[in-house]
Structure 1
Amino acid sequence: MELKENELFDRIIMGPPKTVEDITFIPILSVTLGCFKSFGTGFGGSISPKAFIVIDKDGNLSFYNLIPDENPLDIINNIS
């Protein structure tokens, strides 16, 4: 993944799985941390969900994309 100007960290990661009544949810998150030095110094960050992988009690997988314009295969291929 290509980093933007002045960013320290920009990754797509899998969050910890959570199980609720025989259904497991695995979040796919975009994590960005940055330091900017224009007219002073600033530090910021964001964590935002991109998709969820859902596994039911029979082991069936489902993929739910939360970003409509983004290709699901691109999301999966960029997981760090």
Structure 2
Amino acid sequence: MTRAIVRHVAHTIKPHPNTAVRYEAGCQRCAWTAVPSSEGAIVDEQCLVHAGRSNHRVFTRSATGYAFVVREGESDAPPAVR
């Protein structure tokens, strides 16, 4: 039988500093979608305009970004994003 030593190593997750968050939204009543942006308020404004014109008031919203994990004792330098 093989034996193994298991140790706990603390990890943290951080937003990647060299990338921007991408905000997106889409209407749940029709095929309308907002133009993606790196600013959430711009996407929210597009949803408000669409709601005002169509009376469609339910949207999906998403924010997508990159993150990286740092193990305790390692450098905080983020790896390159491909």
> Normalised by the size of structure 2, how large is the TM-score?
0.35
Structure number with bigger Rg: 2
Q: Which has the higher contact order (CA 8 A, sep 6+)?
A: 2
Q: Specify which structure has the higher proportion of helix.
A: 2
> Normalised by the size of structure 1, how large is the TM-score?
0.35
